[in-house]
Structure 1
C-alpha cells in the first residue's frame, strides 16, 4: 500500500556548522551518523525537556543533512530552528523544501513494487539497509516508514507526484488512507506527536528514552539539564482490552500503583482486539491487570510491552 504523506515537511541543513548545530538541537546524537544516507530518529526538546517535535535526520555529509518534520508542527519547528541557529553563531543555512512531495510505499512487497513502477531506481536502492537513504536522480529514496512494515519513503519534486502515484498504482500498489497508517503505527508501537508526547511530556516518560543520547558527557543539547534533573517519572506501555469496547486516547487507566492515561488507542486488525499505548505509574509491569475507564465503566485490560505486531504478525 502507499500513503500520500506530502503534508510532512522536508528541510535541508547545509554548512560547516551543520553537524555542531544538530548536536545541540536534538536529543539524539548525529555524530553517530558516519555513512552517507544513514538516518536517525530523535526528539527536539524545549528547555523544560518537553517534546517540540519528533523528527528524522538523514546524514548526507558532515556539512549536509535532510530533516523531515511533522506537518502540524512544521511552522513552529522551522521558527524554533531558525531562532536557535541565529543564536548559535554557527555557519549553516536551513532551507524549507515545500517544493517536495512524499509518498510512503509500505508492505512485504513494497520495494519490488517500487522498482517495477520506477525503472532505474533498483540499482541504487536495492542495497539500502533499514533507516538508510539514497539519492536516485530527483528521487530521495529512504528505507524508512511509519507502519512496522518494510518499504520506502519517496521524496520527489511535487510536479512528479501524480505521475509517480499513477505508476505505483499500475504496479499494483493500493492507495491507503491515513486512518490505516495510524492503525499500523500503533500496532508497531510507534509514537504519534500530539497524542503520545507533546511539549509537556518528556521523551523519558513517553517511551522514547532510547532516542536520548547521554553518552558524550561533553555534548550539551536543549533540554538535557531538565531531563537529567527530572529522570523518568512515568512509563509508556501497551494495553490489550480484555472486555468489549474500544480504547481511545485520554481514557483513565486504574492500576495498583495509581492512575495513568491512554495516549493512543484503536482496534487492531492483526490482533482482532482493541489496543492502546498508555502512560502509567512506575512499578506497573507487563502482565499486570488494569482497568480502563470508558464512558464511566471500568473495563479489564492487560499490560504488555509494545510493539503489538510487526510485519503482519502478532507479537503479544
Structure 2
C-alpha cells in the first residue's frame, strides 16, 4: 500500500536513485495552482510526461515504459485534474497502491492554492475554469473542484501551497525535489539581468557584461539570445567564443567534484545588463554543451519568462 504523508513542507523527497526503478510522479491539484508549470519542470528533467491521462491507463503506461524504455524513459510524470472523469479520482488511490505494490516508486503531489489567489489568477489571465458553466460562479466552481479532488489530497505524498510562489519558484521547487530521480548531478543554467539583482539561489555566477552588447544594434534590440541574428552577431567576435570555452572548461573540471560530494543539484547563473542577449546566448550554448554529456540539464531565463 501507498503510505504518503500530507504536508505543507515544500521540500520534496530525495531518494537514492536506482537506475532500474520506475519513478511515477502524479501531479494533481487546483486549476490555476501551477500543475502545468510543475509538469514542464519534470519534462525538463527528461521525465516522460503525459497530461490528463485516465487513471485506468496508468498501469498500461508503466508496463509500456518497463518493456520498451530504459534510463531516462523510466521516469514518468502524469498530470491529473478535473478534466478527468469524476470516477478517476475515486479509483486513483487503488491504482497507485497496486503500482506501488508492483515495485513502482509512486509520488503523488497535490498543488494547492488559496481561493482568493485562484480567483485573482483566473481574473488576471481571463482563463475559464474547467468547471465554470453558465450560471456557475468562479467561487462555486473552485468549491466543486475541491470536493472532487478530496480523495487525492488525502493520500498525497506532498501538498504544495503555491499561493505565495511565482511560477519560477514553483518550477525550481519541483525540479530540485525530483532531481534525485535522475542519474547524476542536475544542472540549472539560468540567465539574469544584473540591474534586477543577483539570483539568490546561485551556486556560481558568471558576468558576461564584458562582451559586445547586441542591445546597441537597433535591429537586434527587440530580439533575444535565442534568435539567430543575435547568435551570429555574438559569434562574430572571437572574445565571445573564448569566454564560452573558458567557462565550459572550468565547469567541466569542477562539476565532477560536486558529484563526488553527493550534490544532486547545482545552479549556474550567467548575467548581463538586461538579461536578454549575452546571458541568454551563453546559457543556451552551455546547456547544449552539457546536454551532450549528461542528463538533467535545465535552462531558465529569468527576464524572458
Q: Which structure shows the bigger proportion of residues in strand conformation?
A: 1
TM-score normalized by structure 2? 0.29
Find the structure with the greater CA-based Rg. Answer: 2
Q: Which structure shows the bigger proportion of residues in helix conformation?
A: 2
TM-score normalized by structure 1? 0.28
Structure having greater relative contact order (Cα 8 Å, sep ≥ 6): 2
